[in-house]
Structure 1
């Protein structure tokens, strides 16, 4: 792995203050629609006996001769959980198009801007369970330490989305956003089950699917030996125009199946081409 920390500084050009409500949960200054004593004015209501008289708007009383209470939106902190797939299929792509490296950098971008907004992040890798690799500091020093750890990762094995996400859902104790970075090369029903476990825990979920350019279009013709990195199985095929079309159709169908299943659960799904400029991809995911 060759993730360099310089890219973090360039993320400063993205405006992290998205000012969205917690119910749609994206990063930045999150505000809850629940009314309470907070810092952001929401609305007025008429005074009722027993209300705190300190909340009466005396200027409004001077104009109307009626008592009104100020209501506020309760500001809430947000914990962003960033989970990156380390299965063997993520060890694909050359240089900057490498799927694991690209996904890890996207997750680091989320962590960076989350920390800039004084929210907490959690960073983990997973196969059949999530291995949390941060220490809970949510600062730049933490990010640099994470880069060092990620550069040592060698993707291997097979991901079990159901076990990993169900297990992690039990560890979440606060209102959260969980962002899962993977190629999702698994049974769509298994991915759906894992996301359902998170959604049941009152968690907002964003799935980021990384696809390398040569996965969408292998660009090969003739007698080709294909290898499954997670099972070591191989298959020799004559890869011609018709077979290429069938392959692409099946890949698109799989992408659509995963997307449709998780969006039905209230999650978001974003497809990212690792051949695209990193910052363009990051913006499309962050602003989703």
Structure 2
């Protein structure tokens, strides 16, 4: 599980975890001396703790038109589910003392930030086109980044983002969010396919005949994303909107500890 709140900096300083023993020096109070350790030698020793800092986590949610898709009125759109996951993850991390923010905005801790993030996530709106990508210039050194997208548009930006992240010590997660119809391609007969923006259209007379090729392309895309993520020291996961969001939330929470 993720260790919420404080994270070790591998040096002495304020914190809760033991770092090392060092010989007592001028200025150390009697209270700071570890008398049990000192009793085993002729010198007095101080028990240093490891300096710790809150982890900064950035969240990015695709605003491409395709994220507004749902194959059934009984299911949320991909965007709605991604917003829910981002908000729930932010609340859990903030409760643990983490600093959290949307990518490109300051990451802060505390109750006020929880309210601010809730307002900003609820206010997110789709953009005009199908494609969307995070701005690599918004990355900050040593942060963790959670990317929520369907990754069905041109994925060329993924390589550039991960290369930039690797150079800055940024780790993170790619989470693909899909509708179950996009997972199984249940269509048959004559079907007009079009993107939600209307920019892409395909009129098929035999949609069922496309199923095998579609599923192969989806598996290929998913494998490509997984290999890119693992090659950069990131994690890749996927979630469908007919599954319980708690499962995806638990997975995101755990892999951020990696």
Q: Same fold (TM over 0.5)?
A: yes
SS in 1 for 2:57: strand
Asked if 1:37 corresponds to 2:13, the answer is yes
Instruction: Report the counterpart of residue 12 of structure 1 in structure 2.
Output: none
Instruction: Count the aligned residue pairs.
Output: 250
RMSD: 2.8
Question: Given that residues 5 and 96 in structure 2 are in contact (C-alpha distance below 8 angstroms), is that contact kept between their aligned partners in structure 1?
Answer: yes
Query: Of 165, 168, 183, which residue of structure 1 is paired with 2:135?
Result: 165
2:120 maps to which of 116, 127, 146: 146
Query: In the superposition, relative to structure 1, how do residues 88 and 210 fare at CA in structure 2: closer, same or farther (>3 Å)?
Result: same
Q: Quickly say closer, same or farther: Cα 1:52–1:180, change in 2 above 3 A.
A: farther
| Paired residues of 1:100 and 1:155 also in contact (CA < 8 A) | no
Q: CA deviation at 1:278?
A: 1.7
SS in 2 for 1:107: helix
Displacement of 1:53 after TM fit? 4.1
CA distance in 2: counterparts of 1:78 and 1:166, whole angstroms: 20
Query: 1:86-144: CA deviations, max 9, x gaps?
Result: 011111114533100100111101211122122221125xxxxx6x5999875443244
Match for residue 72 of structure 1? Answer: 49
Give secondary structure in 2 for the equivalent of 1:235.
Answer: strand
Could you list the per-position Cα deviations for residues 46-104 of structure 1 after superposition, in whole angstroms to 9, with x for gaps in the alignment?
A: 528x6864454223222443443423221111221111110111111145331001001
- In structure 2, do the counterparts of structure 1 residues 118 and 43 end up closer, same or farther at CA, with 3 Å as the change threshold? closer
SS for the counterpart of 2:190 is strand
Change (3 A) 1:31 1:134: closer
Aligned residue for 1:209, secondary structure, equals strand
Shift of 1:183: 0.9
The corresponding residue for 1:3 is none
Unaligned runs of 5+ in 1: 1-16, 20-27, 125-129
1:260 match: 227
| TM-score, length basis structure 2 | 0.84
CA distance in 2, matches of 1:44, 1:262: 35
1:10-21 pair list within 5 angstroms: 18-19=2-3
- Could you tell me how far 1:241 is from its partner in structure 2? 4.7
TM-score between the two structures when normalised by the length of structure 1: 0.76
Higher relative contact order (CA 8 A, sep 6+): 2
Displacement after TM superposition at 1:237 (Å):
1.9
Distance 1:73 1:92 in 2: 48
8 A Cα contact 2:6 2:97, kept in partner: no
- Equivalent residue in structure 2 for 1:205, among 169, 172, 193: 172
Alignment equivalent of 2:61, drawn from 75, 78, 84:
84
Question: 21, 46, 57: which one pairs with 2:34?
Answer: 57
Consecutive unaligned residues of structure 2, counting only runs of 5 or more, are: none
SS at match of 2:135: helix
Query: 1:229 and 2:222 equivalent?
Result: no
> Is the CA contact (8 Å cut-off) linking 1:90 and 1:155 kept in structure 2?
no
